[in-house]
Amino acid sequence: MNNFSATLDAIAKPFSNLAPWLLRMSLGVAFFLHGYGKFPLPPEKMVSWFGSIGVPAPELISSMVAIGEVAAGIGIIVGGILATSLGHLITRLSGGAVAVIMVGALSIAHSDWFITTKLFTSEQIFLLALGLYFAIKGND
């Protein structure tokens, strides 16, 4: 068993610096694309839906969501490129923004999913988890 584990370690070691980038790029690109798809502002479909469920100032809120998604996606990627304390901060703030947006999305659009199979079989839980990961870890 130890030989097999050592073999796997030897195979994986050259790629270990890429592992965080797999998560970073997946989250960053996904969030950017989710937000970019809501342009031009305000996103009319989202405004209509927010208005129909009683979200106050639906034009403002839906525009903020779209801008937040684009900015958080870019921030996750740019934060990793900057190997400085500023990059670390950008990564953490962007991860926090992802988490806040996802908590909002889950509570508004998918409140019936709370602690159900549907939640854990959707991409939303993984976006939330990745956002929290980067908010906690930053570039570490």
Per-residue pLDDT of the chain (140 residues; tens, 9 = 90+): 789 999 999 999 999 999 999 999 999 999 999 999 999 999 999 999 999 999 999 999 999 999 999 999 999 999 999 989 999 999 999 999 999 999 999 888 777 777 778 877 888 889 999 999 999 999 99
Enter the pTM of the model: 0.88
pLDDT at site 31: 97
pLDDT at site 108: 87
pLDDT at site 71: 98
> How far is residue 30's CA from residue 138's CA, in Å, rounded to a whole number?
18
pLDDT at site 37: 95
User: Which of 61, 133, 139, 57 lies closest to 101 in space, CA to CA?
Assistant: 61
pLDDT at site 2: 83
pLDDT at site 8: 95
